[in-house]
Structure 1
Amino acid sequence: MISSFLNLSLAAGLGLISHRFYFIHGEHDRYADSIARVAVLAFGLITFYEWHIEASLSKAVIQAISLAAAYCGALFTSMFFYRLVQSPLTHLPGPFWAKVTKLYHVGHILRADNYRYMNKLFHQYGDVIRTGPNEVTLFTPEAFNQIYGPDSRCIRGVYYDMMLPLVSLVTTRHKHIHTHKRKLWDQGFSIKALEALEPKVYEYADELVHQLRQRLKTPVEIGRWFEYFTFDLMGLVGFNYKFNLLQTQKHVALDMYNAGHPVLGVVTPAPWIYHLTAAIPYGQEGYHMFARWAEGGLREKLKEPSGQRDVLNYVIEDARQRGPVEQSWKHILGDYILFITAGSDPQRQVLTNALYYLIRYPEHLSQVRSELSGLEDIRNYKSLQYLTHFNAIIKETLRLNPRREDCFVNATDFIPERFSTKPELILDKKAWQPWSLGEYQCVGKNLGLMEIRVALALLVMQFDWEFAPGEDGQQMFEGLLDFFTTVPGPLNVVIKERSIAPTE
């Protein structure tokens, strides 16, 4: 009896020591699978040892469970006490259970709607909220600029470790690696490179127009077609690959991508869940299938002759100069997957939202058409960049959902004029940062804007648009999903030939 009590006391003491001298220091999310393996191994060894002593498997298991309970009980008690009483964040407002465990946050976003949950917390608690045991969320433009601005000393959080062991431009947490990769990617998005890409952007936009013309007067989920358009362009620009989604409407890469990345929307607050489940056979099979496809695609890419001017080629050539490509494989594959993940979704979302607003507010559609009709050549991209109302529409689309009333007058209303004739409706210019800023500003910003401007210009001049029967556009917002990127809900529209012939 004394021996049993001593063992339980030792287990509890070990739990306290584990927290105070290990778990309370540093980051441990990426090691969740290793910690779990150690725990399982320890439980097995204790069971075997007790079985050897007791000569009874059932008693050995019970004893092992008792010791595990003592250890975990002390560990979690110490954790809860520290998080609620001793943490330097205890004075900050926030939900009680969010201060105790990130599982509380996960439980509130099982529908992958973190944006909605965080907006609710903002209205309930204000600008500074403790959203986790070791996490503070800041909502002010000043905080955003300090974190991402040129003088920032901040690094990315543990969330960005979820792609490890692969390393990409966006997910690396090491500034020197990011700086080096950024220089490589910048070459693929230089002014010269974009000028060379302009005919291809128009070509793909023309194909989008062609495909939609085959579907006149029938309901079309337009967001899906924008996804085909942007995904096809991403493949061409990123790694010289033709997905041909506009022609076929199907590709295994898109299917696996859509199946693999939704999990990120749920485990974002607690990356350790991702690392833990990824180590379980078939735990993240959707993502693993996508990664295997990407690896095969990359090996095919390496067989191409050098000299291709896609973005990934700059990464590959840099790797070849450093030694065998396999030596830099995790970096190359990481950038390959990143381009697929982040290279098309933002543009798809902006195009879908912009079209929704133009249908809902036809007076703005008329103004845009008037501007476009005045162009000498709609296929001269430079001319699109200087259209006042056309670009104000795009900027206002990028601004919305949701925004702060202390930064924008009538913040929830669609008022493009705030970016043209009514600048007084912008109370804080720093609050408009759709592409981020500083060294982490979106490297593909200018290409993304080219895709958006070209596609939107051709579509509004070629077709008339209206909501499909039973559609009011709200499902696009209500069904929006928050993954690594944001995916709008469906928007069903009916397309008709314009009653007035477009100006070519």
Structure 2
Amino acid sequence: MRPEMLAVASASGGVLSHLVYFIHGHRSMEAPKIVGFYIVAVCLLWMRCIHLQGAVHGASNAGIISASYFLGLFTSILVYRIFFHRLRRFPGPFAAKVTKLYGPYTALDRKPHLHWSKLFDKYGDIIRIGPNELMALSIDAQQKIHGAGSPCSKQNSAYESVNYKGHPNLDTILNHKDHRWRRQIWDKAFSTKSLETYERNAREVVYEWLEKLKSLQGQPINTSLYSTLIPFENMGRMGFSASFGSIKAGKEDDMLHYLEVTLGTLAKLGLLWWPIALMNAIGGSNDLIKFQKLACQMVDRRGEQADDEHEDIMKYFLEDYHSKEPKTMHHIDDIYSDAQAVMTGGTDTIAAVLSFAFYYIARDPTVQDKLRSELQPLFGRTAPGEFTNHDLGEAAAPYLNAVINETMRVDNPTCANGPRMMPPEGLEIDGVLIPGETLVYVPINSMHRSAKYFKEPDSFIPERWTTRPDLVIDKRAFHPFLLGPYNCVGKRLAMIVIRFTIAYTVWNYDFKFAPGEDGTSIHRDMINQAILKAGGLHCVFNKRA
């Protein structure tokens, strides 16, 4: 066969592959099989051609066949995505329409959430951010996609790619029924009785923080670092009845380091999931493997103790696992998987809130003054010489909670929110039909900072939650802990840790930016690694008389 005919036939094969296989369904999780198939196929092709036709002629034909096939395949993909794809009429950057590599491009500066907000300003409220992905800045989308009774599903690569040996955690379970069973166990672990123990743990951790401040009084302290160590230490106690000693040491534990490196790797991919599937196929990255190993060791050590010996989250996981008829923990890997979720959710999200809260409070002395005035009658109200979570609730401490809410609004830890797959029949959002089997993101950070829903959206104004409600156009846009059946199960615990840390610190110490610190680094150096991580901020703390 002449070379030109060989090229046409091979290119036609590439087009046919796209039309018959690639165009149907989502293939990210099949990446290992696809890559493996093509490596083997190309190698066999070259070997066969060279064997039958000799080195020069065979290699030439093999090259023509290979190049033409892939040229036809990718040309077909490109033409389809631009002119025939069901999302072709949705606005967005041209690059996003043709390749998912646009995601990693937006993540180059590690701040893709800021890039998304700019896209909304430029293209409107529903934008195409990938070949089969949309992003919606919409209350209607928020309610219909994430609210109770939503017809949308988690059946997508964003969740399928993040599990432990094929065992999903609470957040990555795809089946609604399985999720309900798993959620029941988690809810038991966060019952009112359990929270009483967690409250004591949180107070002990905060006292370790205060002792550290006492030992370093007058010296500049990286509050962003300790904002991570505080919830990390708390996570160890409420999750596993374990103490890491990280606050006393004043540095990150190995487990915390591996966790942050792993999250950072995910974030660099910018909503691109097939590389994760490839990585998982070869065993995962070294840091991920080390993190998973340490998490499993934590579970094993806790499992050597009696289930009822300590009041922690693992107690309830192990109880279900050891029961005659487990509801959800059928395999030890189920616990290992959820243990990693405990470590992630119980550390980084709280760390971001505390980091930025310290920044806003240190920046404005009047915020500290208002907090102390509110805390004055609450100190010792229920427990002598202590604050209690009940006394720091929204009814008793509205300004404290307003500071927390405003921090979570302006710098919410969960920037993107997980995507949802539209039902086959599609879903109407704000009068626009979103085609079926489309992935849609509703980014929390962009909603929280949208002028559609908040006046002066980029300004930190706690009073919008108390005396100036006119600054909130639509309160439904504020959903820092998500909403619907997949909302944050640890919300109440997170609020205990945040309230205690702020209340005890403000009550015992005056603090301000350290000499030479202007506060710009906390936002300049922040990175979105799936969960927002603040840049450094150095403050000086002085004990109050």
TM-score by shorter chain over 0.5: yes
* Aligned mates of 1:332, 1:12 — CA distance in 2: 49
* Aligned mates of 1:265, 1:61 — CA distance in 2: 41
Shift of 1:435: 0.6
Q: Which amino acid aligns with 1:14?
A: G
Distance 1:192 1:410, change over 3 A: same
- 1:444 equivalent in structure 2: 490
Say if 2:261 and 2:287, in contact at 8 Å, map to a contact too: yes
Shift of 1:380: 2.5
Q: How many pairs does the alignment contain? A: 496
Q: Which amino acid aligns with 1:284?
A: S
Q: Does residue 19 in structure 1 map to residue 18 in structure 2?
A: yes
- 1:107 equivalent in structure 2: 105
Counterpart mapping for 1:303-342 below 5 A: 303-307=304-308, 308-321=310-323, 322=325, 328-342=331-345
Q: Which amino acid aligns with 2:537?
A: L
* Aligned mates of 1:266, 1:358 — CA distance in 2: 31
Counterpart mapping for 1:341-420 below 5 A: 341-377=344-380, 378-385=386-393, 386-401=396-411, 403-420=449-466
- 2:197 equivalent in structure 1: 196
* Aligned mates of 2:59, 2:293 — CA distance in 1: 40
* Aligned mates of 1:222, 1:492 — CA distance in 2: 6
* Aligned mates of 1:267, 1:236 — CA distance in 2: 32
Distance 1:85 1:66, change over 3 A: same
- 2:477 equivalent in structure 1: 431
Cα RMSD after superposing both structures: 2.0
Distance 1:86 1:448, change over 3 A: same
Q: Sequence identity, in percent? A: 31
Q: Does residue 241 in structure 1 map to residue 242 in structure 2?
A: yes
SS in 2 for 1:391: helix
- 1:162 equivalent in structure 2: 161
- 2:275 equivalent in structure 1: 273
* Aligned mates of 2:503, 2:524 — CA distance in 1: 27
Shift of 1:440: 1.0
- 2:90 equivalent in structure 1: 92
- 2:288 equivalent in structure 1: 287
Shift of 1:235: 1.3
Segments of structure 2 that go 5 or more residues without pairing to the other structure are 381-385, 412-444
* Aligned mates of 2:4, 2:303 — CA distance in 1: 63
Distance 1:187 1:40, change over 3 A: same
* Aligned mates of 1:287, 1:114 — CA distance in 2: 23
- 1:300 equivalent in structure 2: 301
SS in 2 for 1:88: coil
Q: Which amino acid aligns with 2:100?
A: K
Q: Which amino acid aligns with 1:451?
A: V
* Aligned mates of 1:64, 1:482 — CA distance in 2: 44
In the superposition, the TM-score normalised over structure 2's length comes to 0.87
Distance 1:324 1:311, change over 3 A: closer
Match of 1:459 among 492, 500, 505: 505
Segments of structure 1 that go 5 or more residues without pairing to the other structure are none
Shift of 1:302: 2.6
In the superposition, the TM-score normalised over structure 1's length comes to 0.94
- 2:257 equivalent in structure 1: 255
Shift of 1:223: 1.2
Shift of 1:347: 1.2
Shift of 1:5: 4.9
* Aligned mates of 2:300, 2:5 — CA distance in 1: 58
Distance 1:459 1:73, change over 3 A: same
* Aligned mates of 1:293, 1:456 — CA distance in 2: 30
Shift of 1:151: 2.4
Indicate the larger mover: 288-297 or 423-432. 288-297
* Aligned mates of 2:45, 2:209 — CA distance in 1: 64
* Aligned mates of 2:206, 2:22 — CA distance in 1: 53
Q: 1:310-369 CA distances to partner (integer Å, 9 max, x unpaired)? A: 213322332333479996233222101111112111111111111211122211210110
- 1:149 equivalent in structure 2: 147
SS in 1 for 2:168: coil
